[in-house]
Amino acid sequence: MGRSPAPQLGDLGQAGQRLAEAARYSREAGQQFHLSGELGWLGEVAFLGGDVAEAERLLVQQLSAAREQGAWVWTRHALLWLAKVAVRRGDVASARSLLDEVQAMSRAVGMATDPEELEAVAELRAAEGRHEDGASLLGTAEALRETLGEPVPRAYRPDIQSVISQLAAGLGPAAFAAAWAQGRRAAAP
């Protein structure tokens, strides 16, 4: 699966315009696989821009199209971002169920857990009050990103920082640092 171009662009509005144009072209050309990806990326742009309702609408469309096509990669993407939407809405039970499905899909195809998945689970753990687990997962995600040479995209940083702040406030600085370090060690080869 390609990475979304949206987080790499500094201007989410510009990213949304470009993705909407690409989605229009894909729709006109009958390129359903590409359209599914673009719908998901438009959902990311809406989410990152604070429009959770629009993000959910687009991601539900992506999920429906991806499942209809049997495109597991876009199904997984939609489920991951719908879990983030559920956390944002305070629906931790739905978020947990969606992330369980993401993790099951990853295992079924032999896909290693990626940093974005760990960050989403960390956000859920923060919402559940499981601060130590969340901090550890973010430490693992950071170490994996370093190994992959894939830093946190600019557009994701405010959300990640918000989760970090919530976890650090719940644990205190020393316990947060210890849990983060434990997570980094867990990612060591």
Sign of CA dihedral 48, 52, 53, 57: positive
**pLDDT higher than threshold 70 for residue 114:** yes
Q: What is the pLDDT of residues 14-48, one digit of tens each?
A: 888 888 888 888 888 888 888 888 999 999 999 99
CB 62 within 8 A of CB 26: no
Digit-coded pLDDT (tens) for 81-96: 999 999 999 999 999 9
Mean pLDDT of the chain: 91
Question: Do the beta carbons of residue 43 and residue 65 sit within 8 Å?
Answer: no
Summarize the confidence of residues 69-80 as an average pLDDT.
Answer: 95
**In this predicted model, what pLDDT tens digit does every residue of 56-72 receive, in sequence order?**
999 999 999 999 999 99
State residue 21's pLDDT score.
85
Question: What is the pLDDT, as a whole number, of residue 1?
Answer: 44
Q: CA 142, 81, 37, 5: dihedral to nearest 10 degrees?
A: -40
How is the chain classified by DSSP, letter by letter?
A: -PPPSGGGSS-HHHHHHHHHHHHHHHHHHT-HHHHHHHHHHHHHHHHHTT-HHHHHHHHHHHHHHHHHHT-HHHHHHHHHHHHHHHHHHT-HHHHHHHHHHHHHHHHHTTPPPPHHHHHHHHHHHHHHT-HHHHHHHHHHHHHHHHHHT-PPPGGGHHHHHHHHHHHHHHH-HHHHHHHHHHHHHHT--
* Residue 2 pLDDT greater than 60, yes or no: no
pLDDT, position 136: 97
Residue 118 has pLDDT above 70, yes or no: yes
Q: What is the pTM of this model?
A: 0.89
Residue 145 has pLDDT above 50, yes or no: yes
For 143, phi then psi, to 5°, come to -60, -40
